[in-house]
Chains A and B, each alone.
Chain A
Amino acid sequence: MFSRWFDTSDLSPGLVAFLALLAIFFGAFLVYPLLYVFLNAFYQDGQFSTTFFGLMLQNPVQQRALINSFELGIAATIATTIISLPIAYALVRFDFPGKGILGGLMLIPMVMPPFVGAIGMRQMFARFGSVNLLLLDTGIIETPIDWFGGGGFLGVVVLEALHLYPLMYLNIAAGLANVDPSLEESARNVGASGFRLFRTVTFPLMLPGYFAGAIIVFIWAFTDLGTPLIFEYREVVSVQIFNMVTDVHENPIGFALVVLVLLLTLILVYLSKKFFGGRRYEMIARGHVVSAARKATRGQTALIYFALLSVTAIALIPHASVVLTSISDRWFMTVLPSEYTGAYYSQIFDHDLTLLSIKNSLFLSVLSTIIDVVLGVMIAYVLTRRRFPFKDMLDALTMLPLALPGLVLAFGYVAGFSGTWFDVRESPVPLLIIAYAVRRLPYMVRAAYAGFQQTSIALEEASMNLGAGPFRTLWKITLPLVVANLVAGAILSFSFAMLEVSDSLILAVKEQYYPITKAIYALMGRIADGPYMASAMGMLGMALLAGSLIFTGKVLGKKMGELFKV
């Protein structure tokens, strides 16, 4: 028989203990810091008040920061839509030679935190950077162009867009693949075609995927800290919050700003869930039954190649400039570096700050990954295999950090745990580990969840039937069957932790505890060899992330996109 029923609940003492442990973990490190920020934003001397919000909105700097951040988020969303929508549509709906490789190219920009790219971009597009020098040399312009017009706004938008379009692409492609081709066929059947078909049928059907992508891009751009810092574009919400962390208890406006970001995030996530359904775990259910793709003509193929390769080439400019910076010995007032050297790569392993930061990052990331693997596997296991009360809540709590800006959580940690055991001014190590773990747990849970879901319960039942208890079954049967997913999830968690930006910038307040990202930021402030060494460090991070993304993509295949949905 095919129907399978389950008892209404499988609570056992072990499960209860595990759920209690999770309640403590999430309670202390997710709910409490957020609650703390909320309370401090709304209570003044024990009274409910919105004074701080009033102060925040009256302050012209804060006003400008809010407007700038909104504009930044919206501009990045629009830019990524323009880049990704046509390409995703072409890649999902057309078959042509080399499609797989082109699909992979679309993901390349993800291998670099945008603020590392910013280092390279600054070099390229500075007043006397490569581009302006080239244009001046060839006589096209007379005076240098201010590429980052508006005090860096344009530069930040460009970098955010170039970094985030893959996320948009993955979400749109997943949304498109979920559109049943027969729905389009029936529309065509009644006479709709071309843009009309797209506007009236395809686009509305793929909206859930699009909005998931748009929201994540908006939140990411709105709250990104690293890029504006490098561009010294300080009038944005993220940088304002960053500056206020140090004196949280003297200046409560920081709380109000964080609450604003938090509310905005929650509202957006809530709206997308409410209106576009939570089909988060569905793995492109019908897409493969009927292939929607049709063969592209030669002209179309050429057009797709041209569009995609130009986008990729542009997206690679920051990477290329980081590479160049990292190997240039002298690069001043010339289009390309005048002398090259590999010395910075060896220097980062000699220099105290960089070497220590690499060690710190490794240590922090390994520990946070272990936490993620243990918790993630168990959470995914109980979510797929057990029935228990508050299951939806556990699911929601685990996934919340996907949408929650790192900035908000880090701010909550600094404020909420100051004066306690976990005070970052004593040692940021425990909170850094926990912050990394909480922020990357969703990836681990999703990777493991996908594995458990694909593994038939009958395989576990067969083991129990032959006399193996639950733990032996888990160890001998279930885990070996999902090991690829677990490795993929763990590697992804690890490499993202290594390159975590906002948590690291905010939490690591002492140089001896600097992780890689904070060390890069610190290096940028050093005049002489700073940018060169920062670039070399950035390259190291890029290589790490690229390797792990390629590996994860190989293991998870099409499901890769699912990892990055809100």
Chain B
Amino acid sequence: MVSVTLEQVTKEFGEVQAVRNVSLDIQKGELFFMLGPSGCGKTTLLRMIAGFYLPTMGRILFADRDISRTPPHKRNSGMVFQNYALWPHMTVSENVAYGLSVRKVSGSERKRRVDEALDMVRMKRYSERSPNQLSGGQQQRVALARALVINPDVVLLDEPLSNLDARLRLEMRDEIRRIHDEIGATMIYVTHDQKEALSMADRIAIMGMGEVRQIGDARMVYNQPADRFVANFIGETNFIDGTLTEQVSSEKSIETDVGVLRSTAPESKPRTTGDEVSCSIRPEEIQIVDDSIEDPNSNCIQAHVTQIMYLGEHEQYTVILSDGTLIKVVEYSPESRRAQVGDEVSLRFPTSRVVILDRE
């Protein structure tokens, strides 16, 4: 197990910059996520760590060893591919044993370690099967065992769950997290599924347009997004644009077209009065109320209900503000329906949940 360091890594394909100036410090034993929409450069970054691409600029280090130019087969990383890439002409145990025979591990030792790895992913009784006799989830487990059995310095997972159905995906999330905790491996996990990242990660790097937009743990990237891109990509959010007019200690006032909003949420960077900003407010932080009682810890604005969508465990309201901005509101008590389409309502949300971001 090693730490992985990326220093100002850039990758160009002809004219296209797929990855731009990315620096990361991944701790030893960390389950680190790279999350972003397709085309954001996350897979390119992972393939550079595996050695399938060479960085155009920058360095990649395993512990203190610069491996930027090392060919893939000399890096000792274990990769789990999106489509598993199990070799169809070998049995499950032959697939898993492959990396060990390359490393010249002796017969009995090899057998012991293959058994151990298959045991860990609960696939021991399928060891003599051919990969195409296995279900997607089972193939996934074998791919994982194959990557782990060589005791890699770092485990690389490229959208490992994207080909599984929803239920299996949930199960495999727990499974991968369990295995990570069991062996304490450094794992780098690429996905576009925010739920996967939020539920499993020690830390997440959010990527967009080839750049890292924010690094942090799940709570931090959700509650304190660094910019509008992150706020929008992780979870759903509402933006109300305005101008920063007043800063008294931790409380800020933002003048908007629908009135003054107050924010006490922690800020990622200092701002000056007069800055053009966006306020991000998550749909689940907003309450629909009938009265407009003044409360020093809450903001309150007026709106009209335009649409109500029933979604089982919650209801989603779409409301329109006086300046025409559409706002999404999520209510988690569907049985007590408070408003009808067309009603004039008040929206209340805590000042601590109004996150101030650059307008862009």
Contacts and interface: CB of A to CB of B under 8 A. Distances in A.
Contacts of A459: 85, 87
Given A456-B83, A462-B85, A467 B38 contact: no
Interface stretch (B39-47, B61-69, B278-286): B39-47
B74 interface: yes
A346 interface: no
Nearest to A2: B38
Given A462-B87, A467-B150, A5 B81 contact: no
A548 B178 CA distance: 54
B297 to A, nearest CB: 43
Contacts of B85: 456, 458-459, 461-462
Contact of A467 (B42, B86, B103): B103
Interface in B39-92: 39, 42-44, 50-54, 71-79, 81-83, 85-89
Contact of B44 (A5, A469, A476): A5
A466 interface: yes
B159 interface: yes
A128 B126 CA distance: 72
Given A2-B38, A5-B44, A456-B85, A465 B77 contact: yes
B73 A5 contact: no
Interface string A463-488: 11111111011001100110000000
Contact of A1 (B13, B38, B87, B147): B38
Contact of B73 (A1, A7, A8, A469): A469
B225 interface: no
B146 interface: yes
A466 B38 contact: no
B222 interface: no
Contact of A465 (B50, B54, B87): B50
Interface residues of A, number: 26
B72 A461 contact: yes
A466 B39 contact: no
A466 B150 contact: yes
B102 A472 contact: yes
B146 A466 contact: yes
A466 B53 contact: no
B18 interface: yes
A3 interface: yes
Contact of B18 (A5, A469, A477, A481): A5
Q: Which of B13, B76, B102, B146 has the most CB of A within 10 A?
A: B102
B45 to A, nearest CB: 10
B13 A461 contact: no
Contact of B79 (A456, A465, A476): A465
B88 A481 contact: yes
Interface in A180-196: none
Contact of B102 (A2, A6, A468): A468
B312 interface: no
A1 B83 CA distance: 11
Interface string B115-157: 0000000000000000000000000000000110010000010
Contacts of A467: 73-74, 76, 99, 102-103, 150
Q: Which of A459, A467, A470, A476 has the most CB of B within 10 A?
A: A467
A483 to B, nearest CB: 9
Interface string A1-42: 111011110000000000000000000000000000000000
A466 B98 contact: yes
Contacts of A481: 87-89
A477 to B, nearest CB: 6
B14 interface: yes
B357 to A, nearest CB: 27
Contacts of B81: 458, 461-462
A465 B72 CA distance: 6
Contacts of B78: 465-466
A2 to B, nearest CB: 7
A462 B54 contact: no
B56 to A, nearest CB: 9
Interface string A93-119: 000000000000000000000000000
Given A5-B18, A481-B89, A465 B42 contact: no
Interface in A386-425: none
A8 B14 contact: yes
Interface in A411-466: 456, 458-459, 461-466
A472 B102 CA distance: 9
Nearest to B53: A7
A86 B105 CA distance: 63
Given A1-B39, A7-B54, A465-B77, A477 B102 contact: no
Contacts of B39: 1, 3
A487 to B, nearest CB: 14
Q: Which of B74, B87, B156 has the most CB of A within 10 A?
A: B87
A204 B82 CA distance: 41
B172 to A, nearest CB: 19
Nearest to A483: B89
A109 B73 CA distance: 50
A463 to B, nearest CB: 7
Nearest to A481: B89
Contacts of B150: 466-467
B87 A466 contact: no
B262 to A, nearest CB: 41
Contacts of B13: 5-8
Nearest to A3: B39
A467 B52 CA distance: 13
Contacts of A1: 38-39, 42-44, 159, 190
Contacts of B88: 481
Contacts of A7: 13, 53-54
B131 to A, nearest CB: 11
Nearest to B158: A1
A461 B44 CA distance: 14
Contacts of B50: 461, 465
Given A8-B14, A459-B85, A466 B54 contact: no
Interface string B177-219: 0000000000000100000000000000000000000000000
Contacts of B52: 461, 464
A466 B44 contact: no
Given A1-B43, A462-B81, A468 B14 contact: no
Report the 3 A-B pairs with minimum CB-CB distance, sorted nearest first. Answer: A466-B99, A1-B43, A458-B85
8 contacts: A7-B54, A458-B81, A462-B81, A462-B86, A464-B51, A465-B78, A466-B150, A468-B102
Given A464-B73, A465-B78, 9 more contacts: A459-B85, A464-B52, A464-B72, A465-B50, A465-B75, A466-B98, A466-B102, A467-B76, A467-B150
